[in-house]
Structure 1
């Protein structure tokens, strides 16, 4: 049966209502719940005497929304929780002249200080301050920056997903990010999914892998803040950085836009491998086309009170993937360019209501429907070596802001979301009902065939459904020189998955003629490994997951030019460690009470990491008390969630047989026996979780300085150190003695993979940033990163496994996504005639890679062992030692040695440009004609973002198997040149 639409919109509303109903009864959030800014200062008279009781009123120039407060006994005032925008502030006190401050610009999370001097009545004073936010933030203790609306609208952006502009900041990358997952590695260099992603202060990550849950239309994003390291105590569940996005709201002016961005093969230059196929085989230029179109509109429902904003966007891309193994004598029929169509529909709606000057609410709904053909095909991976994914995603959220008094502000927020994950093969995009296994679905699965130079097949695909309920609350209280914040949150994110049987995977030690047809399958010889799970059986798994957090934070100004931030938070993750299970439940643990009883491994009741206290301390010293030179430093302890996907194996043992056969017979690995009968007698691999497993922990420290050059230009320098430990890694605790042939300590089982806190990563970086805010027609930002990461984490995604459990030191080496140098320069210039030019230049040095032996050298049933004499990530870091060991190993196999020129690098050098010509039509109407060119100079950038060994569903890019003659080569490339034309109509 085909999949039905679910869940209904009404279920979202019911869930949200429940969340907001209980919200005020708990003390909740974390992670900088507020996306607003604050205007603070001291009111005094001309003799510097402080003035209490001054009425200060801030009015948003765009929406007319008003916020009022009164200065305290010491003259201090604070207006917090203000949405990003332009504000006019008026100060009034009987007997004194009114003071007006004009055009104060607040960006996300910004606190600006404006001290006010009032004169005796009779002198009307109006002060006009710059419309720009300060380029040096005198009270900021963390390492962060804001990507503004001006940058989003003026710089070239290939995806129209603004989070990609996070890469303008130092200490960021998108290495190892899965295609179409608009993720980013942030600051700490830990791993891909360690950062927090927030939309309007609410969580936007899914619980199984930690990737972003859904995308939003670009027109719905106002701006976002990128926190690179040492977030304050209100941020949690992040071992690295934070991206906090503020969405748009309607204004008092009805406005909107409609647009179309267009790409076509006539605007493209073939990449290196497409060109080679064209020149040698006469392959035609891929028939590429991309349409991205949408619209947005916003305005008042009740002027100065109620506003609406909505946006929709659709992307339809007929793209192609090129398979190029470098061994066409064996795989010529697998090679070529293949269609890889995909689409994504995003939509967004938001209503803001200013109840009165002290209370406001917003409600928003956002959704995305996406489908693409292949996650990681191309290069050495054949067209059907992976599947596509159909992903429906929806969320509804609401928030209430209440100015309780001139000293107190409370914000409560809630969210309900759904995420569906329905993988499918490239040849059949049909999606079925969850936990339904008709014959048509089972026919989608194709056995995997892995050779040294190529892979083929898609053996299975599990469906995943995720729901999330979130409620949080922040309370801010200002008392003299102290601003206290108290908060906490609860987030329930259960998931379910169905696991169909798969058709197994074959691994061969030599390249052989193969095209996927039964004829060539029949001719294959000498496999070295066969693996399969669940022959003829399917199961369903339920994975509950609850995050709870509380924090307290004090921003203290002991003197006017010193800010000290002190905080403590507590994080607790419940239920994720299978603590709701009972080891005697035979529906989940079918071998209970038998010779293969696993209950001795489990202590569910006592699992859980309950001591996750995270102290935070930071300071910002405005050395001359003029906002020009600020020295800052911070220290903090941070925790990362345990991703639910890591718990799946423990719920699978013996419910689905885990078969692993070395040197199997072919084509029948079972030797004529029934697969289930074979599995019932042969020792099986099992997966367990260390009962003492803890959340990974990072200790981060920074020290830096910001120096204003002009009022709109500054340079920032920060030194970052992040020491992360306790990353969950699988290790075999039942290894064979004496390598591949000895007995196991526990002969009842084969490999016993235990998830333990074995991984660590140490990251050191110098982050430099020179920025010039928009003024006199131009802006620019230049970022440079000098970084070094070392550790033993095989991947940078969710987890990984120890390569050799009896020699764990082999995994020690550079981080999998280590790039020593990164330079990103961006800028925009407005020419006469309303012509704007924007450009981004990106330069990144190469990542490392592994040298894999292509055989199971340690008898653990996994063909991932390093070449003897090498360690993890040695490629492109110590090539001389690597090649000496590789060539010695190849000599034992009768294979020729490799020269140093064999090893490719994935250094990246590209310039992207955008030209925009505006035509004014009057009454706020205009037409923009836009042209963008990506990789203007056509440099061949080889695609290998998966890094050392491939990770998180991203292939390494390099051929890692040294038995292949193309070891060390990268067989994929990014576009040489790609142009885009667009038209945008605004009103």
Structure 2
């Protein structure tokens, strides 16, 4: 059911009531759950096939930070350990009078529900049966189509470090450009899932950094422990039908660990595809690489053993290359576009940082804080500028700082009820400044932007003075309940809320060379004839808002050992509006663009109630439909 309305008081009241009810439950019975975490469950039996209660199941892994988790099998022989981080585990089953059963080097990936059954043989505790490397490769309960990319995979595959490289490795996902070795570093890529373009949800440590179909915040895969990319079949936790990524930043542990990498590319190993046909068009070079270097390092470890851990990383990539026809100045004839101009280079530099702290004050409570700042710097401007028709003297300085930060609480008081809440921010600022450029001609009065329509050449000061921002604040919470077996099978329930507050703006600042562009053309067979003037309304900095409120409930219902139903219901409201705001008068054209004030404008309210249903049938031990 979908409806559009301007009066949403009833919807707000209903969703508010649901949120309050959920929060009351959370306060009364805290626990935690998050889609990036995984589960290990199974049944312990003896050699006759009878269920074995009271078996001690111990999980150890460097990923746990606290060392180990211990549970005991129940009356029906079943056990369950949830909310586990991705990593390599050792699982030990112990009971007096029986041989220990040990599963070593068990790889658990993000969001995976792994079934691990154990058969205990009669014998002494000093005797052990050890199975190595028997990690499951198929999730028998999930109806989501996904691919998991571990840090080992990312290190082994020869790809660039951009986040968009991960999408290129995912079956069913395509991007709007092919990036070989980070040749497109610093360029956001939009994604399609099975040929359909739709908004993405890209969560880094629980914070959504997506901007429509692309990654709104520049990221590097160096800092990721693992990423899961979901292409279809998302459950009620996910709103959008497009690609959904869940990635986890590396964490510290009781042992210190790190990596340090440096690489560089030079032009000596680069070929040229400058053909005679291109030379006939006046091109003297294509896009030669001057250098591309990538330096990085990260370190994680303990501050207080079993209590406080840290992780930090630094990455810098710098590329200097030519652009077809991009000139540093006119040729000997004093003109552009004649093929004899000296060529200029273009620089792109990405600087990433990452800091993550994990604190476990008690066995059942954990606090996590993370911050990832990034700066994209392009002193000759943002592509498709600079180019053949905008030489160096008409470029600008472009800087794009972005960041992701979050705080998270994970708390467990019961083995049947867990809770998680994460709050944070993901966004960026795009800053176009011609007067800050070290290479452009002076941006002063008397040097306004100029366009020759006949040749397409742009001279004078660069007209862009944009100041753009994309801000997204968010709070996600979820309560998972694991009732005892009943109601026709085993249930895992989850209820949660998602709250987003987005603010977008694309503004123009006052231009020192003039808020106008002089346009020339070939008129009456005379080139360079003044034809028009384009005037800009500056300064402007509009403020647009979009708020998202959602609540969901879902049930992973294991009807039998081989059949699982994934049921869900999601209620969501998306509200777009322009708050009350005002603008200054244009200092150069106050009559055309006077000061003005604007009342609040409600643009659209979109309400949805969406059911989700999926069926997973374990046809054989490693085949699921």
For residues 386 and 96 of structure 1, the distance between their equivalents in structure 2, rounded to whole angstroms, comes to: 76
1:503 counterpart (505, 516, 520): 516
Where 1:151 maps in the other structure, the secondary structure is helix
2:35 paired residue number: 34
Secondary structure at the counterpart of residue 605 of structure 2: coil
1:401 equivalent in structure 2: 410
Other-structure match for 2:83: 81
In the alignment, the residues of structure 2 paired with residue 71 and residue 377 of structure 1 have an alpha-carbon distance, to the nearest angstrom, of: 64
Aligned to 1:538: 539
What is the match of residue 159 of structure 2? 157
Query: What pairs up with 1:87-236 in 2 under 5 angstroms?
Result: 87-92=89-94, 98-119=100-121, 122=124, 126-131=128-133, 133-158=135-160, 160-175=161-176, 180-191=186-197, 194-206=199-211, 211-236=214-239
Is the contact between residue 68 and residue 358 of structure 1 (CA under 8 Å) also seen in structure 2? no
- Counterpart Cα distance in 2 of 1:46 and 1:268: 64
Matched, 1:377 2:385: yes
Q: What is the TM-score with the length of structure 1 in the denominator? A: 0.51
Taking the aligned partners of 1:167 and 1:109, their CA distance within structure 2 comes to 21
Task: Give the Cα separation in 2 of the matches to 1:268 and 1:291.
Answer: 15
Higher mean Cα deviation, 332-341 or 440-449?
Answer: 440-449
Alignment RMSD (CA, Å): 4.1
**Structure 2 CA distance for aligned equivalents of residues 290 and 540 of structure 1:** 36
1:443-483: CA deviation from partner (whole Å, max 9, x where unpaired): 897244455x7463643231124444322112211233111
Question: In 2, Cα distance between the equivalents of 1:586 and 1:343?
Answer: 34
- The one-character-per-residue Cα deviations of 1:866-912 (angstroms, maximum 9, x if unpaired) are xxxxxxxxxxxxxxxxxxxxxxxxxxxxxxxxxxxxxxxxxxxxxxx
- Residue number in structure 2 paired with 1:350: 356
Q: Within 1, Cα distance between the matches of 2:235 and 2:509?
A: 44
Q: Structure 1 residues 496, 213: closer, same or farther in 2, change over 3 A? A: same
Deviation at 1:410, TM superposition (A): 1.5
Unpaired stretches in structure 1, ≥5 consecutive residues: 1-22, 432-438, 513-521, 589-595, 632-987
What 5-or-longer segments of structure 2 have no aligned partner? 1-21, 28-32, 179-183, 586-592
Determine whether 1:320 maps to 2:322. yes
The residue matched to 2:165 in structure 1 has which SS? helix
SS of structure 2 residue aligned to 1:409 = strand
Distance 2:194 2:289 in 1: 41
Contact 2:163 2:219 in 1 (8 A): no
1:172 deviates by 2.3
> d(CA) in 1 for partners of 2:152 and 2:134?
12
Looking at secondary structure, tell me which structure has more strand per residue: 2
1:366 counterpart residue number: 372
- Tell me whether 1:416 sits opposite 2:416 in the alignment: no
Deviation at 1:85, TM superposition (A): 0.6
- Find the aligned partners of 1:336 and 1:482 in 2 and give their Cα distance: 70
Structure 2 partner of 1:464:
468
- Identify the residue that residue 692 of structure 1 maps to in structure 2: none
Deviation at 1:149, TM superposition (A): 1.9
Tell me if 1:524 matches 2:562.
no
**2:503 aligns to what?**
494
Q: How far does residue 113 in structure 1 lie from its aligned partner after superposition?
A: 0.5
Aligned positions of 1:937-952 closer than 5 A: none
Alpha-carbon distance, 1:182 to partner: 4.2
State the match for 1:623 in structure 2. Answer: 619
Alpha-carbon distance, 1:401 to partner: 2.0
SS in 2 for 1:494: strand
Residue by residue over 1:955-983, the C-alpha shift from the partner in whole angstroms, topping out at 9 and shown as x without a partner, is xxxxxxxxxxxxxxxxxxxxxxxxxxxxx
Aligned to 2:574: 573
Equivalence map 1:251-266=2 (5 Å): 251-266=253-268
Are 1:261 and 1:291, in contact at CA under 8 Å, matched by a contact in 2?
yes
The aligned counterpart of 1:780 is none
Alpha carbons 2:370, 2:405 under 8 Å: kept: yes
Per the TM alignment, residue 402 of structure 1 is displaced from its structure 2 partner at its CA by 2.2
Q: 1:322 to 1:58 in 2, by over 3 A?
A: same
